[in-house]
Structure 1
Amino acid sequence: MFSKSRLKAKREEFGLSQNNIAIELAISRVAYNHWESGKTVPNQKHLTALAKILDVPVTYFESEYNIVNNYLQLSPNNQIKAEEYVEELLLSQKTSNVTPLFSVQVLSDIQLSAGLGEGFFDEYETETVYSNEEQYGYDIAAWIEGDSMEPVYKSGEVALIRSNGFDYDGAVYALSWNDSVYIKKLYREEDGFRMVSLNKDYPEKFIPYEDEPRIVGLVVGHFMPVEGV
């Protein structure tokens, strides 16, 4: 898992400001700040560039880096002792009342509008959220914003999307149209798609095929992330 604290410490060790690194990466200072504040994590391209700027291996930014590095420096006998101790801790954890959580990587800069529509952003970073249940069968996870799909899909939830085309009328899809991404029920008609909200306060919309709408995928699940993790 990406470690924001390791990135900040190494940057400060080099005497660089957030803006210095943002300029090197050709991104905004705000985008870089989101990495150190834990709001988003760098994609692989930016991780590689950060490693080069700060003269460290790419794996340096993983929170497990110190654990692995220290383990490799142990003697063979002490490595066995360390493994046994970790197994004891895991067993103790499994027998306690700790509720397991499952991580999900969510697109930070793409929001599925359950309202008027949100645009695409220049960077496609991800952030880690947690669910009480393990999530299966999806390819993309993205935030939901707005109330047009309530009461089923709530603003602040994460939508789980399986990348595929249009399957059948009345299913809920993520749809890209005019530089915005929507989550709506879709019905295919002769000249386009009819986009329908669950919240009756929102009118239906017609999207002509000539606008070149793109089906991002079928919404196969949704959940409210666990807070305070």
Structure 2
Amino acid sequence: MNERLRELRDHLGLSQKAFGDQVDIGQSTIAMFEKGQRSLRDIHIKRICTEFNVNEKWLRTGEGSMFKESSDSVDTLHEIIRSFDIEQLELMKECLDMIIKEKESDKGSILNFQRTVTRPVYDLPASAGTGQFLDGYSYTNMEFPEYAVPPSSTFGVRIAGDSMEPEYFDDDIVFVRQQPTLENGDIGIFVLNGEGYLKQFEIMDDGYSLVSLNSKYPDIHITEGCAIRIVGKVLGKYSLS
């Protein structure tokens, strides 16, 4: 599937970043998909197929054409409309104009009611891998519903992997307040030896550890000499699915 994803992107003439922006997936994640380092989840496949009108069967298996073909129902509707006379078409146009105005009014009401806020969002593998956060490097400004964003958060981080399930899932965005210290049990963003991590901070008798909520991943015990930096405390999360 990774080769077909690359083929689709090349066919559309989009860079990895431009492609990812349209389906709300980070550039580094797109790169890992294309290299076969990560597998596309159903949510990613649905998002790509919807945005670019891609034939899902082709993307999954390589069978059929790359893009969806017109459905039989659309073709049938087209034939019915072509059979109408001028008066019937004028009446249909008036009805459609009325429906469009109603829907635009409803959409405007919803947009006015739901306020949004903006946060810079980093991709954890790309940004944390270089140890760079909040320096203007490799982030995208994204809008979120105001109710979902903790007011004191500084930025967001898109999560990759399953080490913090069942609380934080792959492709979730966590909202972080930049701060240099954490208390025992806090969830935070860390840079350790140049790699970025979302972990729980746990104080031990002989130091402290970075703990995964998923039990299949071992704790990371911090020893003297480790190059570690606390980036900030996680205050909340937002799921794009």
**TM-score between the two structures when normalised by the length of structure 2:** 0.48
Q: Distance in 1 between matches of 2:20 and 2:187?
A: 35
What is residue 210 of structure 2 aligned with on the other side?
Answer: 195
Aligned amino acid, residue 154 of structure 2: D
What is residue 105 of structure 1 aligned with on the other side?
Answer: 119
Could you list the runs of 5+ residues in structure 1 that have no partner in the other structure?
1-28, 41-91
Matched, 1:34 2:47: no
Could you list the runs of 5+ residues in structure 2 that have no partner in the other structure?
1-13, 26-104
Matched, 1:96 2:109: yes
What is residue 182 of structure 1 aligned with on the other side?
Answer: 197
Q: What secondary structure is seen at the aligned counterpart in 2 of 1:161?
A: strand
Aligned amino acid, residue 129 of structure 2: G
Q: Is the 8 A contact 1:107 1:125 kept in 2?
A: yes
What is residue 124 of structure 1 aligned with on the other side?
Answer: 138
Q: Distance in 1 between matches of 2:205 and 2:217?
A: 23
Q: What secondary structure is seen at the aligned counterpart in 2 of 1:137?
A: coil
What is residue 235 of structure 2 aligned with on the other side?
Answer: 220
Deviation at 1:127, TM superposition (A): 3.8
Q: Is the 8 A contact 1:106 1:126 kept in 2?
A: yes
What is residue 186 of structure 2 aligned with on the other side?
Answer: 171
Deviation at 1:149, TM superposition (A): 0.8
Identity %, equivalent residues: 23
Q: Is the 8 A contact 2:131 2:195 kept in 1?
A: no
Aligned amino acid, residue 159 of structure 1: V
Choose 132-141 or 159-168, whichever is displaced more. Answer: 132-141
Label 1:129 to 1:209 Cα distance change in 2 as closer, same or farther (>3 A). Answer: farther
Q: What secondary structure is seen at the aligned counterpart in 1 of 2:225?
A: helix
Structure with more helix by fraction: 2
Q: Is the 8 A contact 1:186 1:195 kept in 2?
A: yes
**TM-score between the two structures when normalised by the length of structure 1:** 0.50
Cα RMSD (Å) of the superposition?
3.7
Aligned amino acid, residue 211 of structure 1: C
Deviation at 1:141, TM superposition (A): 0.8
Label 1:196 to 1:101 Cα distance change in 2 as closer, same or farther (>3 A). Answer: same
Aligned amino acid, residue 104 of structure 1: T
Q: Is the 8 A contact 1:112 1:174 kept in 2?
A: no
Q: Distance in 2 between matches of 1:193 and 1:37?
A: 38
Aligned amino acid, residue 183 of structure 2: Y
Q: Is the 8 A contact 1:131 1:224 kept in 2?
A: no
Q: Distance in 1 between matches of 2:21 and 2:200?
A: 36
Aligned amino acid, residue 128 of structure 1: M
- Give CA deviations for 1:196-217 in whole Å, capped at 9, x if unaligned: 1111111111122411200001
Larger CA Rg, structure 1 vs 2: 2
Q: What secondary structure is seen at the aligned counterpart in 2 of 1:156?
A: coil
The number of residue pairs the alignment matches comes to: 142
Deviation at 1:96, TM superposition (A): 3.4
